[in-house]
Structure formats: C-alpha cells, structure tokens
Chains A and B, each alone.
Chain A
Amino acid sequence: MSGGMSGSVTANETCTAQQGVPWYKNKKLDQWICFWSVPFFYNLFGLVFVPLSWMMPPRSPANATPEIVAFMQSPNLLIACTILTLALGLSAVGNALYACQMKRMSVSPVFRFAFMAGAMVGAIVGCLFPMFCFGLGAFRPGYDPEILALLYDFGYLSFIGCLGCFFLNWSLLALAILLDKNNTLPKWLGYYTIWQSVTELFAATVWIAKSGPFAWDGLLAFWFNMVLYVPWQMIVYICVYRAIKNQPEHELANAQPVPRAAYA
C-alpha cells in the first residue's frame, strides 16, 4: 500500500506543479491514488507470480503428481499466497477508477454497475479461488498427492479458465467507449478492447484440452492472449491517465458539504 501512496504523491506533484496547489489539495487526489495503486498492484503480482513462485507462465496441465506435489508444497508458494492474501483488495481500487471514468460517459449507468459486478466476479474466480487452492497446498502440508493434484487443477482452471468471465466486463467497457459521445476515452481503444474481450473467450477451451495450443499453457489459449492483453492493459492506463488529467474540476462527482444540513 505504501508504494501506491508514494506513487500518487509523485504523480500529483508533476500534475499540479504549474497550478501552485500542493498535491494533497488536488481535487482529483482520490482518482490519482486509485490510479497509482494499479501499477503497484500489477508489479507486485508480476513479482509474486513469476520470479517468486513460478506459478506463471502456467505449469503444464500434464505434469506428473510428484512435480505437482513439489510445487504445491514449496515455501515460495507459501510466501506468494501470503502476499496475495494481503494485496488482493487493491484490485477493487483499480476497478473503482474505471467506474469513475465510465460515469463520465454519455451511456446508461447500467454499464458501470454491470462492469463493477463483473469485475468482482472476475476477482473472485480469477484471483481468490486460485489463491485458496495454492494456499491450501502451501499452508496445509498433510494433504494426499491426489488432493493436491485436484487443487492444482482447480487453481489453474479457475485462474485461466475464468477469462471468459472478463469477456462481459471488457465488452461492456468497449461498448461504453464506442457509445460515449463525450469521447472520454478514444474510440480506437473501444475497438482494441473488443479484440481483448473476444480473445478472452479462447480461454474457455482450457477446460477441454489438456495439451496443445488450447491447453492452459497453450499457444492460443494463453500466450497469444497475453500478447494482446499486456499491451492493452498498459495502453488502457495511459488513456485513463489522460482522461483523469483532462477531466474538468467542475465535473468531479464528490459530494460537497451542504450548509446547515444537520441530519443528526
């Protein structure tokens, strides 16, 4: 959390330097904190998933039981699950930022409510379930190898096979961008988001295929999706950064104190 906070500080210093307002009085401080929590969150996730636990790139679905047991009971996986347990909530903060910007679009509020609900479901199956599965293996060393193999399957299928549930999420975002008359986010980003959401559907195949291009470590179900997804995630954040920066202050939706409103 501290990394996210310090990030927001630097952003606001550069952003408000010309206005002569201290960063903590910036009216968009809430959005900037959310914004800078995202790179912090993704970098942390990257470190935990790749060099710490080697959960990613995905291990083979065809791995033999001894390899699965060794992975599920490794101390690094335990540390990774601990960090994930503590940091998982940050995804909500990042998604709130999307919703904030979607609120500025000239589309029905249904879009942002459904987007938020979809993001919550996504975080549960895409992050919480795998964390529980791998965490059970790491924190409870007494399980039988067969049960560990089940948890391994459950964890990976939930992590990668749930990408279909982000399909709804990104489709709603894409549609909102394309329908928006205020040009809050650029139209081409809407189209890029459509590719992103359509290729997510390819991950549905990981439930059927255990090897080859459609398995959870396969060329089409995983690697090609990553080739589209990683740049997309970065580009989306650059666009959101510009959207916050260009947002007029009178448009900010914070409730103001009402004079003489003594409700209590």
Chain B
Amino acid sequence: MTSAVDAVTAAGDIDAKKSPAFPGESSMWFFIIGDLLIFGVYFVAYMIYRGQNQALFLHSQQFLNQGIGATNTVVLLTSSLFVALGTQAARVGKSVDAYRLFGLAVVFGVLFPFLKMVEWIPKISIGITPGENLFFMYYYVMTGLHLCHVLLGLVILGFVMRNVRVSKERSHPPNIKFVETGAMYWHMVDLLWLVLFALFYLMR
C-alpha cells in the first residue's frame, strides 16, 4: 500500500504542473464526477419506484431510526469540517495542526460505521432484512454501498495522515495535492450521505 501513496503522490506532482487551477488530482475528479453520476441514477430510480409504491415506502420509512440517522449526519459533517480545517492547515505548512485535525476527522469518521451497526443489527435481528420489501432492499443496498465508500474514505484519510506525519517528522511541507485529493473524496462521501439521509429518512 505504500507504493499507492507514492504513485498517487507522483501523479499529483505531474498534475500540479499541468493544472494549478483545480485542487487535488484530475483522476480523482474523474472518479468523483462519475461516482456522483452513478449514485444519481440510483437516486432517480429510487424516486421512480417510490412514486409507484408511495404508501409502502412511507409506511416502511417509519421503521427507520431518525435519531441515529441525524446523529450520523452530524458526525459526518463534523468530520468533514475537520478535514477542511486540516487541509487549510496543511496548505499553510502547519503540519502539526494538520495532523491533529485529520486525526479528529478520522475519530468522527470511525463513529459512522459504528453507529450504522447500532442501527442495522437490531433491525436485522427482528427480521427486517433486505427481503422485507422494495424499500428495505433499497435502504440496505444504498446505505451499504455508501458504507463501503466511508470505509474506503477512512483508509484514504489514514494515508493522508501518514503523508502529513512524514512531512512533520522531516519538517518539509506536506504534499498538498495528495491531501486535497483525500479531502475531496471525503467531502463526496459526505455529500452522498446528505442526499441519502434526505431520501430515506426525511422525505414524506
């Protein structure tokens, strides 16, 4: 995995010379835009099927735990705030601050899958599984897909922290392109959750 960071870092250096106007690496922009388009298709499909079975979807929605959903939203937004502050600190070369801020972001980020399990396990244990109905199939598949993104994001944030720590130890500025790329990904995860939360928990 070490080589991943170095490869990405090397690619970032090249990109930095080509396009200074965009934060992060261009290949990550490609990934984010495509990922948002794919989720967009799922969201539109959800709305269409919801329109066809509105009563079923509204009834099933009542079984979701809005408290945990809202807490998870706050958790992710807070984590994203720390990522933004950490990126800002890294930009001005404050590696020590950046390292702490990214550490806080990871702490909040880890809470998300934990709370997700607190939400899922009681549901599954009383028999509300993806086979229950179309709403719950959507619910488990979409939030599960998002959870995969969160877990990948935590790994990426780990690499960002490693990058910042190395720069702190060798007292040179952190690789900004790489830090920005990780931050971009984490904000995308955040954005997707906001839409998921609205569609599944809030929409009436």
Contacts and interface: CB of A to CB of B under 8 A. Distances in A.
B163 to A, nearest CB: 16
A216 to B, nearest CB: 14
9 contacts: A191-B27, A198-B148, A199-B38, A202-B141, A208-B130, A212-B49, A212-B134, A212-B137, A224-B45
Interface string B24-57: 0001001100110010011001000100000000
Given A107-B3, A179-B3, A181-B7, A224 B41 contact: yes
Interface of B: 1, 3-4, 6-8, 10-11, 27, 30-31, 34-35, 38, 41-42, 45, 49, 130-131, 134, 137, 141, 145, 148
A106 B4 CA distance: 10
B31 A191 contact: yes
A220 B7 contact: no
A213 B45 contact: yes
Contacts of A199: 38
B137 A191 contact: no
A208 B140 CA distance: 12
Contacts of B145: 198, 201
Contacts of B42: 220
A187 interface: yes
A232 to B, nearest CB: 11
A213 B134 CA distance: 9
A47 interface: no
State the main secondary structure of chain A at its contact with B. helix
A209 interface: yes
A192 interface: yes
A179 B131 contact: no
Interface in A111-159: none
A55 interface: no
Contacts of A244: none
Interface in A182-201: 187-188, 191-192, 194-195, 198-199, 201
A191 to B, nearest CB: 4
B30 A181 contact: no
B137 A214 contact: yes
A106 B137 contact: no
A107 B2 CA distance: 11
Contact of B30 (A179, A191, A202): A191
Contacts of B6: 181
Contacts of B38: 195, 199, 228
Contacts of A208: 130-131, 137
B137 A194 contact: no
A72 interface: no
A220 B11 contact: no
